[in-house]
Structure 1
């Protein structure tokens, strides 16, 4: 199950990036909704994946040691999901602005997309099948 979730989480990343770029170029309701809702699905998959992941579960058992040591376990326990959650909030705030015709939608989508890009583990394979 862990591998299936990992493949889905990995593939959905590309949709999130594509919809994020679309929302950035056209900060309107429809592109913003695709971006925000795809990112929501990505975060939900990530939370489920964290509960199924032996890496995260093992790191949580030795949290103090993992936080001091750094590296890949620390990245997934502390940084990866925090960036995703903040990006999710920004994307939904951008969607709200886009629906109201607000002028902040593009900035919020840009910040969300930037955080998504910073939160992607680029040191891992770009495509898992």
Structure 2
């Protein structure tokens, strides 16, 4: 189950990034909503993965040491999920602004996409097969 969820999480990552670029390129209701909702799915998958991931569970057992040591464990125990949650908040704030017709939406979507790009584990395989 863990491997299947990890594959799905990695696959949805590309959808989220594509929808995010589409929302920036074409500021309309549909791409913005697809970006925000695909990102919501991505975060939900990530939360489920965090509960069953041996890497995260091992890091949580000794959180102080995991956060103090730079590398893969700290990235997944602290930075990865924080960036995802920040991006989720920014994307939904942007969607709210877009629905109200306010021009702040593109800035919020751009910040969300920036937070996502910083949160993607680029050192891992781009697609797990």
TM-score with structure 1 length normalisation? 0.98
Structure 1 residues without counterparts, runs of 5 or longer: none
Superimposed CA distance per residue, residues 50-95 of structure 1 (whole angstroms, 9 cap, x where no aligned partner):
0010000001001111111221111001000000000000000111
Matches of 2:67 and 2:119, distance apart in 1: 17
RCO (CA 8 Å, sep 6+): is it higher in 1 or 2? 1
**1:128, distance to aligned residue in structure 2 (A):** 0.5
| In 1: Cα distance, 2:26 partner to 2:104 partner | 12
Cα pair 1:29 1:99 within 8 Å, conserved: yes
The number of equivalent residue pairs is 129
Structure 2, unaligned runs of 5 or more: none
Per-residue CA distance 1:11-31 (angstroms, 9 max, x = gap):
000000000001111222111
Q: What is the RMSD of the two structures over their aligned residues, measured on CA atoms?
A: 0.7
The equivalent residue for 1:124 is 124
Equivalences for residues 1-129 of structure 1 within 5 A: 1-129=1-129
Whole-angstrom distance in 2 between the partners of 1:40 and 1:126 = 20
* Equivalent-residue separation in structure 2 for 1:99 and 1:117 (angstroms): 25
Residue 27 of structure 1 aligns to a residue in which SS? coil
Indicate the SS of the match to 1:24: helix
Would you identify which runs of 4 or more consecutive aligned residues in structure 1 move more than 6 Å?
none
> Deviation of residue 102 (structure 1)?
0.8
TM-score normalised per structure 2 = 0.98
